[in-house]
């Protein structure tokens, strides 16, 4: 008998101790709330619950509600109902529990029924939220306790200045809804908790959330990329899509190109990735995206990116100012490229090769073609290239990877032409014979026949190669012993050579031909 009385006394004292603890916590919360509210009113000049200008909340963090009831599961149960109601009321992003718990753990914050102004502002910076929802569960009794009773106090704290921008307190019992719309007596603590969460959140959503409208997507495409964005048919193309969750993350994301659906996989960085083989036919193909919400309802996003399929090389011309040049005479070759097609050029390059096929000089660039490129005969090591034949190779690549290659030979020639001149007298004509290597590439020439005073009496000139032979008729009154000639030949590298000689000494060194008679026999020497 004594033992039973002892148990009753123990239970009674425990209840009183719990009541004192509850009263202390409620008093602390009220004191804390009034302190922040007073500070907010003093800062803003407004009374509690009124705001001078509208506030739109797009991101909020929910701290675990302080559980002042005797039910350890109350915080989790009611917290989930509040989150669900918040997501369903408007376009608002709720910070994940893991991020909130990590923030609290790093700062060793155990009491979550309220936050200081400093903590609220820090949460805004670290978590990127506009406000923090805090509160306490004052009552949470299930049916096995003899009644159902749920009571909650909640506040929204601004992360800008730590002020309270909204506050409310609700307490419902099982019998509060008897006869209301025929609901009758509520017999489940979950149903009553859902009702409390719904009515509590309604006040927040009406004031601070962008209203959710039927048909609007719970997420948006923040970024979509195709690489390469221009490609040849059959090329492998990588796709990346970044989704911006508004009320939820998409459950599934697909890309659609030319009617083909490509499933995208969410990577570690949160972006959705996949690849596709480029269509064979040339053209511009839009990239559409279809994202599924958690109920697998599709939300299409049209033409978030595009792919250009191009399998035709760019049309390019290259004008070369000279085929040969003399660097020692300050000569150079000017290469002038020109794009003849509507292509986006990705890169270009030019390289000079010697006769062994070794590259001695090169350059490259990206984007537009250069207006002109000059080669002065130097190598990449800034050493002058020796005389000889060289080959240039000009490559142009468009954004799709198609290449156009233009190549031809050029020549470095610093030495003037080597020219041999012979003169014969045949009856009343002077016969000039010219000898030179055809590789000299004579571009122009001029022959002057001069009298004994050096004055030209006849000038013969021409463009291109020298003729093998050239005749000049001698006038009867012209003294051949005083005659001279001067010939100047210029090659295609602008190197010139001039040969000047008297005619008589050349003729006197020759052995005269024998004249033949009418019968073809030797008649006499001339």
Record the tokens describing residue 320, joined without a space: 């070369």
CA dihedral 373, 376, 379, 381 (to 10 degrees): -100
Q: How far apart are CA 383 and CA 139, in angstroms?
A: 92
pTM for the full predicted model: 0.52
- Tracing tokens 């718990």 back to the chain, one arrives at 101
User: Taking the mean position of all CA atoms in its chain, how far away is CA 297?
Assistant: 32
Whole-number pLDDT of residue 177:
55
Whole-number pLDDT of residue 210:
54
CA dihedral 485, 486, 492, 493 (to 10 degrees): 150
Report the candidate in 313, 283, 269, 288 with the shortest Cα–Cα distance to residue 226. Answer: 288
Whole-number pLDDT of residue 496:
93
Whole-number pLDDT of residue 8:
30
- Determine contact, residues 285/258, Cβ cutoff 8 Å: yes
Domains present along the chain, CATH in parentheses = 2-208 (3.40.50.10610), 219-309 (2.60.40.1930), 316-412 (2.60.40.2550), 420-516 (2.60.40.1930)
Q: How far apart are CA 87 and CA 92, in angstroms?
A: 7
- Tracing tokens 């062994």 back to the chain, one arrives at 356
Q: How far apart are CA 298 and CA 303, in angstroms?
A: 16
Helices (H) and strands (E) in the chain, counts: 6, 31
| DSSP secondary structure, 400-447, as one string | TS-EEEEEEEEEE--SPP--EEEEEEETTEEEEEEE--GGG-EEEEEE
- DSSP structure class, residue 274: E
Report the candidate in 42, 35, 30 with the shortest Cα–Cα distance to residue 117. Answer: 35
Q: How far apart are CA 121 and CA 304, in angstroms?
A: 36
Per-residue pLDDT of the chain (526 residues; tens, 9 = 90+): 443 333 332 233 333 334 333 444 444 343 344 343 433 333 333 333 433 445 677 788 999 999 988 888 888 888 888 888 887 665 567 888 888 899 988 888 887 777 788 888 899 899 988 899 999 998 887 655 567 888 899 998 989 888 888 888 888 887 665 444 444 455 677 888 888 888 888 777 667 765 555 456 788 999 999 999 999 999 999 999 999 987 789 999 999 999 999 999 999 889 999 999 999 999 999 999 999 998 898 999 999 999 999 999 999 999 999 999 999 989 999 999 999 999 999 999 999 999 999 999 999 999 999 999 999 999 999 999 999 999 999 999 999 999 999 999 999 999 999 999 999 888 888 899 999 988 888 999 999 998 878 888 889 999 999 999 998 888 777 777 888 999 999 999 999 999 999 888 877 766 554 444 444 443 333 3
- Determine contact, residues 438/449, Cβ cutoff 8 Å: no
Whole-number pLDDT of residue 486:
92
The sign of the dihedral angle between the CA atoms of 512, 516, 522, 526 is negative
Whole-number pLDDT of residue 376:
95
Q: How far apart are CA 243 and CA 271, in angstroms?
A: 7
Q: How far apart are CA 65 and CA 138, in angstroms?
A: 10
């Amino acid at each position: 008998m004594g033992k039973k009385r002892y148990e009753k006394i123990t239970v009674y004292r425990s209840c009183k101790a719990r009541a004192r603890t509850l009263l202390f916590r409620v008093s602390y919360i009220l004191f804390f709330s009034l302190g922040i509210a007073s500070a907010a009113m003093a800062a803003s000049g407004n009374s509690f619950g009124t705001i001078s200008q509208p506030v739109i909340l797009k991101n909020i963090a929910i701290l675990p509600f302080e559980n002042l009831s005797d039910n350890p599961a109350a915080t989790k149960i009611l917290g989930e109902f509040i989150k669900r109601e918040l997501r369903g009321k408007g376009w608002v992003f709720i910070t994940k529990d893991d991020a909130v718990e990590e923030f609290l753990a790093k700062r060793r914050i155990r009491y979550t029924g309220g936050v200081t102004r400093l903590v609220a502002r820090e949460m805004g910076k670290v978590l990127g939220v506009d406000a923090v929802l805090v509160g306490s569960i004052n009552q949470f009794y299930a049916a096995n306790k003899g009644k159902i009773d749920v009571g909650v106090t909640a506040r929204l704290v601004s992360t800008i200045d730590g002020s309270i921008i909204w506050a409310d307190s609700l307490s419902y019992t099982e019998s509060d809804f008897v006869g209301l719309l025929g609901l009758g007596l509520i017999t489940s603590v979950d149903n009553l908790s859902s009702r409390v969460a719904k009515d509590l959140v309604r006040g927040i959503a009406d004031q601070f959330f962008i209203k959710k409208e039927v048909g609007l997507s719970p997420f948006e495409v923040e970024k979509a990329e195709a690489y390469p964005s221009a490609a040849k048919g059959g090329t492998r193309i990588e796709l990346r899509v970044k989704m911006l969750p508004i009320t939820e993350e998409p459950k599934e994301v697909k890309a659609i190109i030319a009617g083909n659906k490509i499933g995208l996989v969410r990577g570690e960085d949160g972006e959705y990735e996949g690849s596709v083989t480029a269509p064979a036919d040339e053209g511009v193909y839009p990239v559409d995206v279809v994202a599924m919400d958690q109920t697998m309802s599709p939300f299409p996003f049209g033409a978030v990116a595009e792919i250009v399929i191009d399998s035709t090389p760019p049309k390019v011309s290259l004008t070369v100012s000279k085929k040969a040049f003399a660097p020692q005479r300050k000569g150079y070759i000017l290469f002038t490229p020109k794009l003849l097609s509507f292509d986006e050029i990705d890169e270009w390059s030019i390289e000079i090769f010697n006769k062994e096929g070794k590259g001695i000089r090169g350059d490259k660039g990206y984007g537009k073609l250069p207006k002109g490129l000059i080669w002065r005969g130097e190598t990449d090591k800034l050493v002058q290239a020796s005389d000889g034949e060289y080959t240039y190779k000009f490559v142009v690549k468009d954004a799709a990877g198609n290449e156009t290659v233009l190549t031809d030979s050029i020549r470095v020639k610093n030495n003037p032409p080597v020219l041999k001149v012979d003169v014969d007298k045949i009856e009343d004509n002077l016969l000039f014979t010219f000898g030179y290597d055809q590789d000299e590439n004579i571009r122009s020439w001029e022959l002057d026949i001069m009298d004994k005073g050096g004055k030209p009496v006849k000038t013969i000139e021409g463009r291109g190669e020298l003729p093998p032979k050239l005749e000049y008729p001698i006038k009867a009154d012209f003294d051949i012993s005083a005659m001279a000639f001067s010939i100047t030949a210029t090659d295609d590298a602008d190197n010139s050579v001039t040969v000047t000689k008297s005619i008589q000494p050349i003729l006197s060194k020759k052995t005269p031909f024998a004249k033949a008679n009418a019968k073809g026999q030797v008649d006499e020497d001339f």
